[in-house]
Amino acid sequence: MPTAMPPSSAACWEKAIAARFGFAIDEVVRTPSEWKRHAAANPFAGDADALAKMVHLCLSRDPVQSNAAKDLEQKAQAGERIVLAGGALWIDYGPNGAGKSELTPLRSRWSAQRTLHRGPLGD
């Protein structure tokens, strides 16, 4: 198995999906070694307050801006934590989970590009 994917892999997938299904989406492509680095960077691993099923790894095709976690924290509810670690956002939704979180609609409504790269979040 190759340890690195060509930089154009995401672009190739994006074009293929657009051609086949008629709409464009951003693709996130990671190598096996990148997945291992993400797992090792989990800021909530070993945290007694974090429930593993409530911790989400949010990946982006492009580098995440350093202020992304702080911007998302403005919408976080009690018990929710957001950390930028290992080049990705980690969200601990806490005991209430993602279903009732104010962060969940934000992740759905905006593309990763806008939410994580282009600035402040709207209502």
Confidence of residue 116 (pLDDT cuts 50, 70, 90): very low
Of 27-36, 68-77, 97-106, 113-122, the one with minimum mean pLDDT is 113-122
Which residues share a beta bridge with 90?
57, 83
DSSP line for 2-16: -S---TTHHHHHHHH
Of 26-30, 46-50, 62-66, 117-121, the one with minimum mean pLDDT is 117-121
Per-residue pLDDT tens for 1-35? 334 555 568 788 888 888 999 988 877 888 889 89
Position with higher pLDDT, 117 vs 74: 74
DSSP line for 91-119: EE-GGG-STT-SHHHHHHHS-HHHHHHS-
Residue whose C-alpha is closest to residue 61's, from 9, 121, 4: 9
Is pLDDT above 70 for 122? no
- The separation between the first and the last C-alpha atoms of the chain, rounded to the nearest angstrom, is 44
